[in-house]
Chains A and B, each alone.
Chain A
């Protein structure tokens, strides 16, 4: 460690508050960062760290208790905090030893798993259950065994040949579509089965992700229709739920990942900046849009501009501001410099 004693107190400052240290004051040195003893505290509870133990996250230090409360995920099985390796699966977090096949109880963390009817299964159990399932479908009407895929209707399984298309009368198979809601119809009038061809003609839109009909809220984007919950960011797969999305090469992204993958968005046109980027005042501009926010006159890197609510105002505009506003802006400017 570069000896503390050899450093001059004059250029030693507390990492948290920025103030200097008194001679003979006790100084905390953590990985070369210096702190007042009072400042070396948990970012959440402001208490000193019990036994000096702290957890660091995004540049902040937390005591063990607060770190767990704030950031450590809870195991989906035992409910304890997961410290160390976290298995993220089935929309939950798990200790590696808690995430097991729901049939044979083998650990899945390293072997991988398959989602089957909302359950996490090992490859062996999944294969067995799938085979059993195909063999064991029993028709709800005739109680006979169904070979191959069954037709699903009002929550039951049937042989397709017990039904005909509500429009054209053709005998149905497992590809038949059940329609539950249709705008302008009562539920009982539409709870019916149709062959694929007639279903398509009814104009019920098909989701671009799951290829199933969309009978409730619909999103239209990228030239396709989507279930609200199936129109998702191509990177994080979270649904946009009406939030703005950004398109690139036929894919949609959330703002965060669009930024992350493709760079800055221009403050004016809100498009990704392909060429040169002007950055100032925590914002970015494309070449065409770097301009005074009051008069729209173009600015260049060499233009002098004034900051006005974290936007640039050109000299001409600044001079046309009411005198009392200029006075207040000058005072605010001094404040920022002092800071």
Chain B
């Protein structure tokens, strides 16, 4: 670990021994769920015996100072839940994607500037939380949208201007959050996500929605549709004041189909970028 700044090489012995204690207790009690939340950890390599706990199903290391996710984490072949939220992670090893049982991955509140090539090959991933990073459509790997086992995809607080049309491949998606990105447009293919029950589009730069969204079941009392804080055309804005279900009704109308196709062929300049992201913690060097 010679490339790391010297300050992180002086392990905070008090905190380290706490982590060590967690691991030893887990070994003794055969506890399959490891909690190392808020332990001041700067590296997972420093925790003796962690990678040999082959039978653990959950590892939670939120609220630490981890910068590097070691590739050896993929040795934990029984892992179903991996929670890395609120650390200093800038990149992930592709080995994670081969975890055969991983169902929930949380890398929210980190500093991801991209994802490794081949990231999408998780065999059974159901919930992927990448909220609050520096991701956009250009730094997603090519196979991102083959993850058709996903039930929930959280991409809020990132830098997407466009949502790739391949989103339509995620046939099992029930929840999609694109809250507070820079979205200028969402694709018609969103309308193919027949199971979608939660769609968060608030705080973007959207002007119109594809009419296909109107066919989604987003108006029931178990559904969530968040649209506020965009630059909607007046007709959508008026319906939104009555409630999101009125917007869906309107999107289904013949009038709107005409309006939408006119808008799309006129290609007006996108609204300005309004969110000031310079203060985001994910931007910290």
| A interface list, Cβ under 8 A from B | 16-18, 43-46, 60, 242-244, 255, 268, 270, 282, 293-297, 309-310, 316-317, 320-322, 324-325, 328, 332, 335, 339
Is A268 a contact of B104 with CB atoms below 8 Å? yes
Is B172 a contact of A243 with CB atoms below 8 Å? yes
How distant is A308 from chain B, measured CB to nearest CB, in Å?
Answer: 8
Q: Give complex CA distance A295, B157 in Å.
A: 19
Interface of A is mostly: loop
Is A317 a contact of B62 with CB atoms below 8 Å? yes
Is A43 a contact of B131 with CB atoms below 8 Å? no
Is B81 a contact of A335 with CB atoms below 8 Å? no
Within B271-285, the residues touching A (CB, 8 Å) are: 279-281
How distant is A29 from chain B, measured CB to nearest CB, in Å?
Answer: 20
Chain B residue contacts of A322, Cβ below 8 A: 109, 132, 279-281
Given contacts A44-B252, A45-B254, A309-B154, contact A295 B224 (CB under 8 A): no
Closest residue of A by beta carbon distance from B279: A324
Chain A residue contacts of B60, Cβ below 8 A: 295-296
Within B175-195, the residues touching A (CB, 8 Å) are: 175, 177, 179-180, 195
Given contacts A46-B253, A310-B198, A310-B224, contact A328 B280 (CB under 8 A): no
The contact string, 1 if C-beta is below 8 Å from chain A, for chain B 231-263, is 000000000001100100110111100000000
Q: Which one of B62, B172, B175 lies within 8 Å of A295 (CB-CB)?
A: B62
Is B253 a contact of A309 with CB atoms below 8 Å? no
How distant is A55 from chain B, measured CB to nearest CB, in Å?
Answer: 15
Q: Give complex CA distance A328, B281 in Å.
A: 14
Q: Give complex CA distance A323, B129 in Å.
A: 20
Chain A residue contacts of B210, Cβ below 8 A: none
Chain A residue contacts of B204, Cβ below 8 A: none
Chain B residue contacts of A242, Cβ below 8 A: 171
Chain A residue contacts of B156, Cβ below 8 A: 309
Q: Give complex CA distance A238, B285 in Å.
A: 53
Is B109 a contact of A296 with CB atoms below 8 Å? no
6 new A-B pairs (CB below 8 Å) besides A270-B151, A320-B86?
A46-B253, A242-B171, A244-B149, A293-B106, A294-B108, A325-B157
24 residue pairs of the A-B complex, CB under 8 angstroms, read A17-B242, A44-B252, A46-B253, A60-B249, A244-B172, A268-B104, A282-B197, A282-B223, A282-B224, A293-B106, A294-B62, A294-B109, A295-B85, A296-B58, A296-B62, A296-B81, A310-B175, A310-B200, A321-B86, A325-B157, A325-B281, A328-B203, A332-B202, A335-B228
Q: Is B63 an interface residue (CB 8 A)?
A: yes
Closest residue of A by beta carbon distance from B80: A269
Chain A residue contacts of B151, Cβ below 8 A: 270
How distant is A299 from chain B, measured CB to nearest CB, in Å?
Answer: 14
Closest residue of A by beta carbon distance from B180: A328
How distant is A210 from chain B, measured CB to nearest CB, in Å?
Answer: 26
Q: Is B26 an interface residue (CB 8 A)?
A: no
Q: Which one of B63, B222, B242 lies within 8 Å of A320 (CB-CB)?
A: B63
Is B281 a contact of A295 with CB atoms below 8 Å? no
Q: Is B230 an interface residue (CB 8 A)?
A: no
How distant is B251 from chain A, measured CB to nearest CB, in Å?
Answer: 11
How distant is A337 from chain B, measured CB to nearest CB, in Å?
Answer: 13
Q: Which one of B63, B83, B132, B222 lies within 8 Å of A282 (CB-CB)?
A: B222
How distant is A40 from chain B, measured CB to nearest CB, in Å?
Answer: 14
Is B131 a contact of A296 with CB atoms below 8 Å? no
Is A321 a contact of B109 with CB atoms below 8 Å? yes
Chain A residue contacts of B126, Cβ below 8 A: 270
Q: Give complex CA distance A335, B253 in Å.
A: 28
Q: Give complex CA distance A37, B245 in Å.
A: 20
Q: Is B45 an interface residue (CB 8 A)?
A: no
How distant is B85 from chain A, measured CB to nearest CB, in Å?
Answer: 5
